[in-house]
């Protein structure tokens, strides 16, 4: 498994909205940082956050627009799409994923405009 294949699999897995399956992609001490917010450490914290925006969604998609790999870090340009309470959200996102040699995500950083996300829900 290459870092790129792990991240492609992860982005596809998001569509199933299975939080436990998504959390299984991470190391126990992984860090997830949505840059507008404080970083989170550990699978429980990651699961809790994923549950907040994937849990209530009836549809989720991470469309990969571009992808580059440098060593064990995979950089993604994505359009993340959600349908929450009947409202569609499309959010451009730049992400960086650090992947371990055994194919686990040890860090996930996403850069996006929180106002753009919340304004589409309002």
The predicted-structure confidence for 68-105, as pLDDT tens digits, reads as follows: 999 999 999 999 999 988 989 999 999 999 999 999 99
The answer for residues whose C-beta is within 8 angstroms of residue 42's C-beta and 6 or more apart is 28, 29, 30
In this predicted structure, the answer to whether residue 65 has a pLDDT above a threshold of 90 is: yes
Query: Domains, the chain, ranges and CATH?
Result: 3-121 (3.10.450.50)
Q: What per-residue confidence (pLDDT) applies to 37?
A: 86
CB 92 within 8 A of CB 79: yes
Determine how β-strand 105-111 pairs with β-strand 26-34.
parallel
């Amino acid at each position: 498994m290459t870092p790129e294949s792990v991240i492609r699999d992860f982005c596809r897995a998001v569509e199933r909205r299975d939080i436990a399956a998504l959390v299984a992609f991470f190391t126990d001490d992984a860090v997830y940082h949505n840059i507008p917010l404080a970083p989170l450490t550990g699978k429980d914290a990651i699961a809790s956050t994923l549950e907040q925006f994937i849990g209530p969604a009836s549809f989720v998609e991470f469309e990969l627009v571009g992808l580059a790999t440098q060593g064990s870090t995979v950089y993604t340009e994505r359009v993340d799409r959600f349908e929450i309470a009947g409202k569609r959200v499309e959010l451009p996102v730049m992400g960086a994923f650090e992947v371990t040699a055994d194919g686990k995500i040890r860090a996930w950083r996403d850069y996006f405009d929180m106002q753009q996300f919340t304004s589409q829900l309002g």
